[in-house]
């Protein structure tokens, strides 16, 4: 996939060493993306988590007003109303900000990961991006209450409309596995969204169909491990 990006789309690949800032096998390498703050040859960088699929162009984010960092809210966290998600970050690289990042990592708590660290540094000093349309989690299609995503009691949940407006989908369906690890049929049947009953009494399975198609699309585009393989997996 990286070779295809390089050869067909003229993507510049920069080899780096993972920034292992935690012994946690799942999230320990998550700080590596923050090395982007040191890419000062660029004016602005957009970083995305690998467990995401881009649905539409987001080129307009490079034209935002100048700010060290721009991030959406983690709207799905009920206990943290103002918490930011580091799944999408627009940043302006600088030696000063990179120094802040490295110092914060060296002083962090053992249970603090990239999202907690970014909130500690930028929660009150950040350009806020609207999660609609810039950050939709796949688990939204499995939920029954969509108020935190919609932002209004008056708007009716329409999975097709939400999917059509979204520019990025972030795979978040714990304990269902990330999309690069193929789930068993039993697990998928247990975790996939339920169908609902429409206003006229018909069964509405649009949310389920979209959710399943997202995982199938990922499998078609990237190599997926069989469900019998159990170990840490990344890009």
Q: DSSP per residue over 126-160, as a string?
A: -EEEPHHHH-EEGGGGG-S--HHHH--SSSPP-HH
Considering the entire predicted model, what is its pTM? 0.86
Single residue among 67, 99, 129 that ends a domain in this structure: 129
Give the per-residue pLDDT at 107.
Answer: 86
The pair of structure tokens assigned to 70 is 């721009």
Dihedral (Cα; 121, 117, 172, 72), 10-degree rounding? 0
User: Element (H or E) spanning 48, and its range?
Assistant: strand 45-48
The pair of structure tokens assigned to 96 is 């000063």
Single residue among 79, 113, 129 that ends a domain in this structure: 129
- Residue 32 sits in which domain range? 17-129
Question: 117 and 32, same structural domain?
Answer: yes
Give the per-residue pLDDT at 22.
Answer: 54
Domain annotation covers residue 5: no
Tell which residue, 72, 176, 177, has the closest CA to residue 130: 72
For the chain, residues with pLDDT lower than 70 are 19-29, 224-235
Question: 99 and 123, same structural domain?
Answer: yes
Single residue among 112, 129, 146 that ends a domain in this structure: 129
Burial of 93-125, coded b for 16+ CB within 10 Å and e otherwise, reads beeebbeebbebbeebeeebbbbbbbbebbeee
How many distinct structural domains can be found in the chain? 2
Question: 124 and 26, same structural domain?
Answer: yes
Asked if residue 217 lies in contact with residue 163, where contact means CB atoms within 8 angstroms, the answer is no
Domain annotation covers residue 12: no
Q: Which residues pair with 84 in a beta bridge?
A: 73
Domain annotation covers residue 235: no
Give the per-residue pLDDT at 228.
Answer: 47
């Amino acid at each position: 996939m990286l070779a295809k990006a390089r050869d067909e789309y003229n993507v510049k690949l920069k080899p780096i060493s993972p920034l292992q800032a935690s012994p946690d096998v799942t999230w320990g390498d998550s700080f590596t993306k923050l090395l982007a703050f040191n890419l000062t040859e660029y004016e602005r960088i957009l970083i995305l988590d690998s467990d995401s699929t881009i649905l539409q162009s987001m080129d307009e984010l490079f034209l935002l007003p100048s700010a060290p960092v721009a991030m959406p809210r983690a709207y799905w966290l009920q206990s943290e109303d103002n918490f930011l998600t580091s799944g999408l970050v627009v940043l302006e690289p600088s030696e000063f900000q990179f120094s802040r990042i490295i110092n914060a990592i060296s002083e962090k708590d053992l249970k603090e990961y990239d999202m907690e660290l970014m909130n500690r540094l930028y929660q009150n000093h950040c350009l806020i991006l609207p999660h609609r349309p810039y950050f939709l989690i796949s688990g939204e299609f499995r939920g029954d209450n969509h108020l935190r995503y919609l932002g209004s009691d008056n708007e009716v949940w329409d999975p097709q409309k939400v999917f059509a407006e979204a520019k990025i989908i972030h795979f978040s369906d714990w304990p269902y596995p990330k999309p690069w690890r193929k789930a068993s049929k039993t697990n998928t049947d247990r975790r996939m969204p339920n169908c609902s009953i429409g206003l006229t009494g018909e069964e509405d399975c649009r949310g389920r169909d979209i959710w399943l198609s997202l995982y199938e699309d990922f499998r078609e585009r990237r190599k997926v491990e069989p469900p019998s393989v159990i170990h840490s997996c990344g890009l």
